[in-house]
Amino acid sequence: MRTTLTKDPDEAAAFIRSGGIVAFPTETVYGLGAAVFDESAVKRIFDAKRRPADNPLIAHIADLEQIHLLAAVIPTSAQKLIDTFFPGPLTIVLQKTDRVPLIATAGLNTIGIRMPRFALAHQFLTACGTPVAAPSANVSGRPSPTTWQAVAEDLEGRIDCILKGEATEIGLESTVVDCTSAVPVVLRSGSVTIEKLRDVVSEIKGINPAETGISKSPGMRHVHYSPRARVIITGSGEQDATEDDAAYIGISRPHTQFGIVMVATDVEDYARSLFEFFRECDRRGLGLIYCEPVEETGFGAALMDRISRAASK
């Protein structure tokens, strides 16, 4: 299959309207989209990504009206989060309408909904004229793509089109909040932090598998965000040996020599750089990646979640 590369959101959307699958940029990571009500198009996403069929997709919308095509009920807590954080890097899980095919939700009667704020994503979704089901545009298990080149590396020849945009602004996937129970539950941390969520809905449960039940968040069962290299969380920048076949990423400057070093300016910069850094280490065939830990508050919680997952492969 030839993959069309374009910067034109209308050209990319034409593939969606005719049953195709298209990678597109958002403020978090690149997504791989298909028209959500088109079962055979949605199936193609799972095939192209080699995604397990039990991992549900997020439906992306261009305007708030489209929520009603997807969600049967909108509880007050969800409405408050929508009013505050849409468009933006937040996904809300709600009871789905009958129209949403079960293949998109991996058999669940709930659907994740997100309205990206990135302008090119908004133009693309508007031109699609339908909500678009989209997981991250990587082969399952690989780090999420933050550049169109990373999408091409994983999926060129397997998808119809890549809408080329800039490197993504945030670099980690959206916060996912399940609003189907009386007390909403954060299923995945992101740049909409638990502190920000609690400012709007005072009672929200954090991610604690023992407390929330792992079956609620199917994506958590699968290996995520992993480079081929082994990931090790270090003490603050300290490493004894000189290691040319190892890499280091963190905020403090390391004391010794590494094959590749990335010193980020702050937590945001670290998060934005992490997945592309993992990919670059794989391209260079490095065996080990040392990641400096950051404090697990605010956005640091999401960053440490992704680093810990990569380290526990």
Footprint of ligand TXA (CB under 6 A):
26, 28-29, 31, 55-58, 91, 93, 105, 108, 110-112, 114, 134-136, 173-174, 176, 187-188, 217-219
Residue 174 interacts, among Mg ion, ligand TXA, none and using kind-specific CB cut-offs from 5 to 8 Å, with ligand TXA
Give the integer Cα–Cα distance in Å for 243 and 286. 10
Please, is 18 exposed, middle or buried when counting C-beta atoms within 10 Å of its C-beta (0-12, 13-18, 19+)? Answer: exposed
Long-range contacts of 295-300 (CB under 8 A, 24+ apart): 297/195, 298/193, 298/195, 298/267, 299/191, 299/193, 299/267, 299/268, 299/271, 300/267
132 versus 264: smaller Cβ distance to ligand TXA: 132
49 versus 246: smaller Cβ distance to ligand TXA: 49
> How many CA atoms are closer than 13 Å to the CA of 194, on its beta-carbon side?
18
31 versus 300: smaller Cβ distance to ligand TXA: 31
Residue 93 interacts, among ligand TXA, Mg ion, none and using kind-specific CB cut-offs from 5 to 8 Å, with ligand TXA
72 versus 251: smaller Cβ distance to ligand TXA: 72
Give the integer Cα–Cα distance in Å for 64 and 3. 31
Stretch that binds Mg ion, among 31-39, 131-139, 234-242, 279-287 (CB under 5 A): 131-139
Residue 175 interacts, among Mg ion, ligand TXA, none and using kind-specific CB cut-offs from 5 to 8 Å, with none
Tokens of 219: 């994506």
80 versus 309: smaller Cβ distance to Mg ion: 309
157: left (phi over 0), alpha (psi -120 to 50) or beta: left
Q: Minimal distance in Å, beta carbon 71 to ligand TXA?
A: 11
Give the integer Cα–Cα distance in Å for 36 and 47. 15
Give the single-character DSSP code of 132: E
Residue 90 interacts, among Mg ion, ligand TXA, none and using kind-specific CB cut-offs from 5 to 8 Å, with none
Q: By beta-carbon distance, which residue lies closest to ligand TXA? A: 219
14 versus 29: smaller Cβ distance to ligand TXA: 29
E strands, 97-222, in order:
110-114, 132-133, 161-163, 175-178, 185-188
Q: Minimal distance in Å, beta carbon 86 to Mg ion?
A: 20
Q: Minimal distance in Å, beta carbon 25 to ligand TXA?
A: 9
Q: Minimal distance in Å, beta carbon 305 to Mg ion?
A: 13
Q: Which contiguous run of DSSP H or E holds residue 258? A: strand 258-263
Please, is 208 exposed, middle or buried when counting C-beta atoms within 10 Å of its C-beta (0-12, 13-18, 19+)? Answer: exposed
135 versus 250: smaller Cβ distance to ligand TXA: 135
Q: Does 189 bind Mg ion (CB under 5 A)?
A: no
Q: Minimal distance in Å, beta carbon 69 to ligand TXA?
A: 16
Are β-strands 110-114 and 132-133 bridged in parallel, bridged antiparallel, or unpaired? unpaired
CA proximity to 250, closest of 226, 270, 276:
270
**Total residues at the site for Mg ion (CB under 5 A)?**
2
Residue selected from 110, 136, 147, 175 as contacting Mg ion according to rule CB under 5 A: 136
**Contact footprint for Mg ion (CB under 5 A):** 135-136
